[in-house]
Amino acid sequence: MNFVSYKKTVQMICSLCLLLLIASCSYGPASQATVLYPEEKKEVNELWPDKELKSLFAHYWFLRFDGRVKDSFAMEAPYFKAIVNENHYKLYTKGAKKNELIDLTVLDIIKETNRLYEIHYQIRFKNAEGEEMLRFRKDNWLKMHDHWYHVLRDKMIFPM
């Protein structure tokens, strides 16, 4: 094999690898929920304290609706994980698995303290009967030691 044909072969292999990489990125399983902002309040997108939280928020809700309990439980605040049994959490979150998440619209992001943020959002999903549902919710996120944690607050189910 001369140098020119060797170079061609290497080029072909590299191109093939690149194509495979692109294909896997395009068709691989999504891990983020679709996050939208209201037409009249697009600036909410600027209120995220950092890119990481923006991405984690979308990822967390994707996991919740996908029924990946272990993964979403791992994102909860350390005190919550210490107190709440994972099976109890599984029972609490299993309702979401029956629904199909359409999108989340972030309505507001409020800085409660330097570490704690409250996200106001609406969640659009299809229930088990195929009906489109809309819910308004608030989510809390805590930053500690450069790491974001979801703060699940439900006084009825998990009085803390």
Partner 1 sequence: MRKLFIISVQMILLGFAATYSFGQESQQDVQKLYQDPLIAKGDGFEIRQSYVNRFQEFIEQGNEKTTQAEYRKGALQLKLFALEAERMNLDTSLLEKELGEKEDEISEDESFEQEVKLRYLYFKNILDTYVLDDLIIESYYYAHPNMFADENYESGYIPLDMGVQEDIRGRIVGKMYRKILQKEMEELKKKYHVEIVGENK
- The residue (of 41 and 111) whose beta carbon lies closer to partner 1 is 111
Which of 24, 27, 51, 145 lies at the binding interface for partner 1 (CB under 8 A)? 145
**Count of residues of this chain found to bind partner 1 when the rule CB under 8 A is applied:** 18
Residues 94-133 as x/- pattern, contact with partner 1 by CB under 8 A: ------------------xx-xx-----------------
Closest CA to 88 of 160, 159, 158: 158
> Does 38 help bind partner 1 (rule: CB under 8 A)?
no
Q: How many CB atoms lie within 10 A of CB 22?
A: 10
Helix (H, G, I), strand (E, B) or coil at 85: coil
Residues composing the chain: 160
Which of 75, 77, 96, 119 lies at the binding interface for partner 1 (CB under 8 A)? 77
Q: How many CB atoms lie within 10 A of CB 137?
A: 12
Q: Counting Cβ atoms within 10 Å, is residue 4 exposed (0-12), middle (13-18) or buried (19+)? A: exposed
- Which residue ranges make up the site for partner 1 (CB under 8 A)? 77-80, 82-83, 85, 112-113, 115-116, 140, 142, 144-145, 149, 151, 160
